[in-house]
């Protein structure tokens, strides 16, 4: 499932799995659909389920499940536009933390 990710380390795969799980949980999408997401899969602005309340819930769940803190000013279009963007952001956060 994580074969097309840049850093195939245990942490990258673990982050990938948790991120996909949070997306499925928050957006109510079937696991099969979320499993098909690749780096370029569009999120904010592409998925009608992802409104501002859903983004807020998504970020709060990511914080709780991955034990990171996401500041308001880190949330921008680039980070939320694609699955790859979100994954990269979260990976950076985890390695910083």
Partner 1 sequence: MQTGLWPCPGSSEEYALSFDRGRKHRLLVVRALFDEGSSLRHFTVEVMRQLDAHGVDTFLPDLPGTNESLVPLELQTLNDWKEAIKAASDHFGPSHMFTLRGGALIASDSLPVIQYAPASGASLLRAMLRAKVLTLREAGRDDTREDLFERGQTEGLRLAGYKLGPAMIADLQNAEIPHENAVEIAQGDVGGAGLWLQAEPAHDARQAETLARLVLERLR
The contact set with partner 1 (CB under 8 A) reads 24-28, 49, 51-57, 59-61, 64, 72-73, 75
Measured from the CB of residue 88, what is the shortest distance to partner 1 in angstroms?
Answer: 20
- Please say which residue, 12 or 42, places its beta carbon nearer to partner 1: 42
How many of the other CB atoms lie within 10 Å of CB of 8? 11
Measured from the CB of residue 82, what is the shortest distance to partner 1 in angstroms?
Answer: 18
The token duo for 46 is 């592409």
Measured from the CB of residue 26, what is the shortest distance to partner 1 in angstroms?
Answer: 5
Residues 15, 19: Cα–Cα separation, whole Å: 6
Residues 55, 97: Cα–Cα separation, whole Å: 22
- Please say which residue, 28 or 97, places its beta carbon nearer to partner 1: 28
Phi, psi of 51 (to 5 degrees): -90, -175
């Amino acid at each position: 499932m994580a074969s097309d990710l840049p850093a195939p380390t245990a942490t990258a795969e673990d982050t990938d799995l948790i991120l996909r799980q949070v997306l499925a949980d928050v957006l109510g999408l079937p696991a099969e659909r979320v499993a098909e997401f690749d780096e370029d899969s569009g999120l904010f602005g592409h998925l009608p389920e992802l409104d501002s309340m859903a983004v807020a819930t998504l970020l709060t769940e990511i914080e709780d499940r991955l034990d990171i803190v996401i500041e308001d000013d880190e949330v921008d279009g680039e980070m939320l536009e694609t699955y790859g963007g979100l994954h990269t952001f979260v990976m950076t956060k985890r390695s910083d933390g």
